[in-house]
């Protein structure tokens, strides 16, 4: 359905994320991939989806080519918020272990924002999901990090991977938001084109 709505548009995904690419493919959208590399820093006074919205728009604004009339640029950002702290992508194995130790036996928020930018407007979509983790042993944490190398994932984990099978007790919200793309909200917004 979306492909018909968007047939006169050139969709550009400003992300190297294989998960985001798969979501667009599964929605039947034809698109090109043009990853945008920016330093993901934000003002410290921002909170929650203000952070992800700011970073998603920062990526869109860093796109090197001028957008044409029929271009739609899509960028996104995801963070994990736990006990008032923001957990981004881990720097290394030690950082990933520390994050997973913190999340073990606790619940946290996963916040994802998507920026949809054209020559005429910029729209930010935000979504938050609460994830409840079972207790993880040191052995389980080591196994996951060694075998799945979650260094490109906020909070050091991918819910769609092994750790999601064994540690996630329940979620309140969208599974896909935790994967880094609130597909349900994105679909509604794109159907307006």
Q: Which of 37, 71, 77, 134 is catalytic?
A: 77
Token look-up 């934000």 returns 42
The radius of gyration of the chain's CA atoms, rounded to the nearest angstrom, is: 17
> Is 95 labeled as catalytic in the residue annotation?
no
The residues carrying an active-site annotation are 77
């Amino acid at each position: 359905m979306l492909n018909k709505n968007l047939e006169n548009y050139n969709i550009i995904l400003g992300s190297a994320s294989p998960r985001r690419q798969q979501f667009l493919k599964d929605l039947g959208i034809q698109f090109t991939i043009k990853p945008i590399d920016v330093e993901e820093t934000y003002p410290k006074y921002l909170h929650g989806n203000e952070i992800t919205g700011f970073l998603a728009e920062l990526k869109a604004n860093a796109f090197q080519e001028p957008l044409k009339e029929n271009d739609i640029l899509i960028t996104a950002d995801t963070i994990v918020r736990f006990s008032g702290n923001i957990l981004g992508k881990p720097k290394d194995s030690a950082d990933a272990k520390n994050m997973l130790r913190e999340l073990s036996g606790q619940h946290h928020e996963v916040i994802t924002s998507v920026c949809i930018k054209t020559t005429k407007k910029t729209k930010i979509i935000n979504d938050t999901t609460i994830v409840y983790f079972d207790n993880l042993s040191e052995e389980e944490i080591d196994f996951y990090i060694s075998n799945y190398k979650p260094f490109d994932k906020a909070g050091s984990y991918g819910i769609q991977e092994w750790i999601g099978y064994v540690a996630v007790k329940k979620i309140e919200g969208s599974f896909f938001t935790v994967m880094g793309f609130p597909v349900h909200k994105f679909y509604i917004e794109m159907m307006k084109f």
